[in-house]
Amino acid sequence: MERKNAWEKYDEKELKSLNRLCDDYREFISEAKTERECVDRIVNTIEKDGYKELETLIGEGTKLKAGDKVYSVWMNKSVCMFRIGKKPMVEGLNILGAHIDSPRMDVKQNPLYEKDGFAYLDTHYYGGVKKYQWVTIPLALHGVIVKKDGTTVEINIGEDESDPVFFVSDLLIHLAAEQLEKKGAKVIEGEALDIIVGNKPLTIIGGDGKSGSSKAKTAAKSAKKDEKKSDTKEAVKAGVLDILKQSYGIEEEDFLSAEIEVVPAGKARDAGFDRSMILGYGQDDRVCAFTSMQAMLDCPVCDRTTVCILVDKEEIGSVGATGMQSHFFENAVAEVMNLAGQYSELNVRRCLSRSCMLSSDVSAGFDPSYEGSFERKNVAYMGRGMVFNKFTGARGKSGSNDANAEYMAKIREVLDKEDIAFQTAELGKVDVGGGGTIAYILALYGMNVIDSGVAVLNMHAPWEATNKADIYETYKGYKAFAKNVSM
């Protein structure tokens, strides 16, 4: 059952649509590298399309009807969109669900220190990463610092060409004989993933031969006094703190209430001479988040209410108030049903149990350089379209949502009717490893759920690769699902 390469079927019109979608997507992942940035960009996009905030509609007592567009944001890190359908919600929803968090490094709460002339920020890696992939590459800082008075300072350093970047150092090859004997998991350990943020003492004369600002001089004098009192030598750290004070108005203690993420610096790029691929950070799972959102925006009013959920914390188990295991989505459904005049506790339960969902998440693309980790008949090939994982989990399907055959048959019928290229896959050989998604959490309501998305090379690395044809076919598949699927 070999699937054809999707590129072979496109005419000039479809190629233009494909390139337009992928250009927008490349810009999206270049600009939105954290959950907060994703939510901000998504809200700005969907409000232009007529979506109204749920809390505002509740306050106004608005009565929802078919065609209305509603969204709800939770803690600036998760968002869900509703397009009210023609049929009562109690008959079920068609749900696209993806996550917008990605593997990275998080700055700790007491992070800034100096050691032997270098200023560092201490980090804690987030999600499953190969730690050695994060050394010696340009890194950027994204996030927020919330001061005690409630003032929020947004941080985005390293993306503009005029910005400085940061990095984790590595041992030079000339001295690395012992290091190279270590296993990959131990070459760089978690506590060594501290980023270098400075190497110049506060009191140094500027490169142009002139002294620093009067504020810097005053700070330098103050730092010198402190050094004499405490007998420390932390002029480089003092210099970094002075820059943070002058540029952002923040003190060292403000790190206690900060959320700063360390991500690869730079924009996503077309890859390959033929520009058939996109190389960029965070494509797991923002490639499915973007295509899910875009499918919602491009869908007409459907019989069933269509929903897009974009959530946080999937990479660490979907836990916490902004993860899929929270009651945020269920509460939003109840509120929307109430505004539509359809709410009861029983109706909410019936609605969710009768719903159908695509757990929009990526799959492992076949990599010929590491073919021994894959089973060729059941693997996702780049360029062959949307990927379905009937089950995920590890080894004996541990932790898996295993979709029903009847549901897969319905999906096949819809996609074939719409001429959408798709393939089925597993996440590598049976005993090699595995992974999970948010699918099993929504399946707890009794609804039909299956994993589907885009094949990715270099998954969880700082730079991941996707195929533009797969992105386009997945977008079309999500739109067909939203319009046509019901059980």
Q: Which amino acid is at 284?
A: D
Task: Tell me the Cα Rg of the chain.
Answer: 25
- Report the pLDDT averaged over residues 49-73: 97
* Res 399: pLDDT: 79
- Between CA 132 and CA 188 the distance in angstroms is 5
* Res 213: pLDDT: 40
Q: How confident is the model at residue 391 (pLDDT cuts 50, 70, 90)?
A: confident
CA dihedral 7, 364, 20, 25 (to 10 degrees): -170
Does residue 219 have a pLDDT over 80?
no
Helix (H, G, I), strand (E, B) or coil at 240: helix
Within 8 A by CB and 6+ apart from 155, the residues are 141, 142, 143, 144, 145, 248, 260
Instruction: Please state, in angstroms and as integers, the Cα–Cα distance from residue 378 to each residue in 243, 246, 393, 430, 459, following that order.
Output: 54, 56, 15, 10, 18
Report the percentage of the chain scoring pLDDT > 90: 86
Domain boundaries, the chain: 6-102+281-484, 104-264
More confident residue, 17 or 392: 17
344-384 pLDDT per residue, tens: 999 999 999 999 999 999 999 999 999 999 999 999 999 99
* Res 52: pLDDT: 97
- Between CA 429 and CA 379 the distance in angstroms is 9
Report the percentage of the chain scoring pLDDT > 70: 94
* Res 405: pLDDT: 94
DSSP 99-122: E----EEEEEEEEEEEETTEEEEE
- Between CA 191 and CA 153 the distance in angstroms is 27
CATH number for the region 6-102+281-484 comes to 3.40.630.10
Does residue 172 have a pLDDT over 50?
yes
- Please name every residue paired with 195 in a beta bridge, in sequence order, or none if there are none: 121
Extract the tokens encoding 273.
């001479």
Backbone angles phi, psi at 468, to 5 degrees: -60, -35
Q: What is the 8-class DSSP label of residue 188? A: S
Give the number of other CB atoms < 10 A from CB of residue 181. 9
Q: How confident is the prediction for the chain on average, in pLDDT?
A: 92
135-151 pLDDT per residue, tens: 999 999 999 999 999 99
Give the number of other CB atoms < 10 A from CB of residue 303. 14
* Res 214: pLDDT: 42
Q: Which of 167, 152, 131, 361 is nearest to 266 (CA)?
A: 167
SS3 content of the chain, % helix, strand, coil (to 5): 40, 25, 40
Chain center to CA of 149: 30
Question: Is 4 in contact with 422 (CB distance < 8 Å)?
Answer: no
- Between CA 476 and CA 481 the distance in angstroms is 9
Q: Assess whether the region 6-102+281-484 and the region 104-264 belong to the same CATH fold.
A: no
* Res 486: pLDDT: 79
Superfamily of domain 104-264: Aminopeptidase i, Domain 2 (2.30.250.10)
* Res 223: pLDDT: 46
- Report the pLDDT averaged over residues 147-172: 96
* Res 428: pLDDT: 82
Instruction: Please state, in angstroms and as integers, the Cα–Cα distance from residue 67 to each residue in 45, 97, 306, 445, following that order.
Output: 18, 20, 10, 26
Q: Could you report how far apart the first and last alpha carbons of the chain are, in Å?
A: 26
How many residues in total does the chain contain?
487
- Report the pLDDT averaged over residues 4-9: 93
Q: How confident is the model at residue 453 (pLDDT cuts 50, 70, 90)?
A: very high
More confident residue, 1 or 229: 1
* Res 218: pLDDT: 46
Instruction: Please state, in angstroms and as integers, the Cα–Cα distance from residue 357 to each residue in 21, 325, 414, 438, following that order.
Output: 23, 16, 14, 11
- Residue 259's Cβ-side half-sphere holds a number of Cα atoms within 13 Å equal to 11
Question: Is 129 in contact with 114 (CB distance < 8 Å)?
Answer: no
More confident residue, 485 or 281: 281
Q: How confident is the model at residue 444 (pLDDT cuts 50, 70, 90)?
A: very high
Q: How confident is the model at residue 183 (pLDDT cuts 50, 70, 90)?
A: very high
449 exposed, middle or buried (CB, 10 Å; 0-12, 13-18, 19+)?
buried
Q: How confident is the model at residue 217 (pLDDT cuts 50, 70, 90)?
A: very low
Between strands 305-311 and 93-99, the pairing is: parallel
Does residue 390 have a pLDDT over 60?
yes
pTM of the model: 0.92
* Res 427: pLDDT: 84
102-131 pLDDT per residue, tens: 999 999 999 999 999 999 999 999 999 999
